[in-house]
Amino acid sequence: MTKPVTAYDAIILGAGGAGLMCAAIAGQRGKNILVIDHAAEPGKKILISGGGRCNFTNIHTAPDRFLSENRHFAKSALSRYTATDFVDLVNRHNIAWHEKTLGQLFCDGSAKQIVAMLLAECPENHVKLSLGMPISDVSHADGEYCVTCGDRTAKASSLVIATGGPSIPKMGATGFAYELGRKFGLKIVEPRPALVPLTLGGEETLFRSLSGVSAPVIASCGKTAFREAALFTHKGLSGPAILQISSYWQHGLPVTVNFLPDRAIGWLVDLKRAQPRMQLKKAIAECLPARLSETLIDRIALTGDLGNLADRKLEDAARRLADWRFMPNGTEGFAKAEVTAGGISTAGLSSKNMEARQMPGLYAIGEAVDVTGWLGGYNFQWAWASGYAAAQAL
């Protein structure tokens, strides 16, 4: 006997931030929606985000804080569902929040509140969740998408790919979105780990002994720079400044670290005039954590009283501290990456509603798409905004 096929207006694959937002808005518009996720609970990445407090948006959200092959792509969706719109939603649910730093908004309580809010926004009579069962087949025929999960098949004229990217596979993250995208003729921009610690090898392994030391720096790669903290790890470099710059880094490029972002190049010469008997070692040690200053001074290989050192040598030392070049030999990979850069190419999608140009009824949203935000709530804002954009069209 053939199994019954249940019909919906749209099937959303993935119950993460993007999928849940899309389901909630489409459900509120009266559409019948099925959300399918192989995980046993929805919004797992939301739950662990922001150290359990979810950095749910950033008040400085702007298109230039996102990476994509098409840097204009995110503009439309971001302008139609803004950080303020999400804050209004959070306020309507009486979820207390605070700004931590750099416009990053976090729950005062728990990330669980954000998942509960999104689920509460899904009208029960319009949104059904199917959790904990793998998807065995996705097909398209006669204008309908069919999705099979165990012994159940559902069909709809719209299918939304919201299965995210492969970062943190141990949480159930997969590259399924790319498999589906390719199957339906969408191009994939090579996925790569982003917001990820960088690893050091060769001579630079000596910096691993600084594991646990952090300092406020400016980290740069090419023309991009971030002023935040850097942290040495037992594998290399991490901390917000490094995670941010990792999204712009490619193999073979140096990452430049300014360990003294508030000092001008002439600061040691000025200090020499004021305190000629001060040791260079002491001058640097006063500005940096002890273990870090010792390692950097060793590498600079310059010792003695400031008064006995030539101005040129002092300027060279200051320049070195302001322009320290690391040559990372890799990243800690998808296992440690907060997000995946690359993904379903925006070239085949409408920036207005995320629909595939060549495949009517197919949509891709959230991290599955080649749009990657900076650290600090930008990736969730993209999940909400792209989910909202697609929901208007379902």
Binding site for ligand FDA (CB under 6 A): 13-19, 37-39, 44-45, 48-50, 54-55, 135, 162-164, 167-168, 172-174, 176, 338-339, 366-368, 377-380, 383
CA dist 183 and 333 (Å) reads 26
What the block records as the tokens of 9 is 């207006």
CB of 197 within 8 A of CB of 243? yes
Give the nearer residue to ligand FDA in terms of CB position, either 55 or 295: 55
Give the nearer residue to ligand FDA in terms of CB position, either 164 or 348: 164
The one-letter amino acid at 123: P
CB of 366 within 8 A of CB of 19? yes
Q: Looking at beta carbons, which residue is closest to ligand FDA?
A: 16
CB of 33 within 8 A of CB of 394? yes
CB of 232 within 8 A of CB of 214? yes
Residue 25 burial (10 A CB sphere; 0-12, 13-18, 19+): buried
**Minimum distance of ligand FDA from residue 383's CB (angstroms):** 4
**Minimum distance of ligand FDA from residue 38's CB (angstroms):** 4
Give the nearer residue to ligand FDA in terms of CB position, either 16 or 361: 16
What the block records as the tokens of 203 is 């001579």
**Minimum distance of ligand FDA from residue 97's CB (angstroms):** 12
Give the nearer residue to ligand FDA in terms of CB position, either 57 or 258: 57
Give the nearer residue to ligand FDA in terms of CB position, either 49 or 295: 49
**Minimum distance of ligand FDA from residue 14's CB (angstroms):** 3
What the block records as the tokens of 54 is 């979810």
What the block records as the tokens of 293 is 């200053």
**Minimum distance of ligand FDA from residue 41's CB (angstroms):** 8
**Minimum distance of ligand FDA from residue 187's CB (angstroms):** 19
Q: How many beta carbons lie within 10 A of that of residue 132, not counting itself?
A: 12
- What backbone torsions phi and psi does residue 169 show, to the nearest 5 degrees? -60, -25
CB of 372 within 8 A of CB of 214? no
Give the nearer residue to ligand FDA in terms of CB position, either 256 or 379: 379
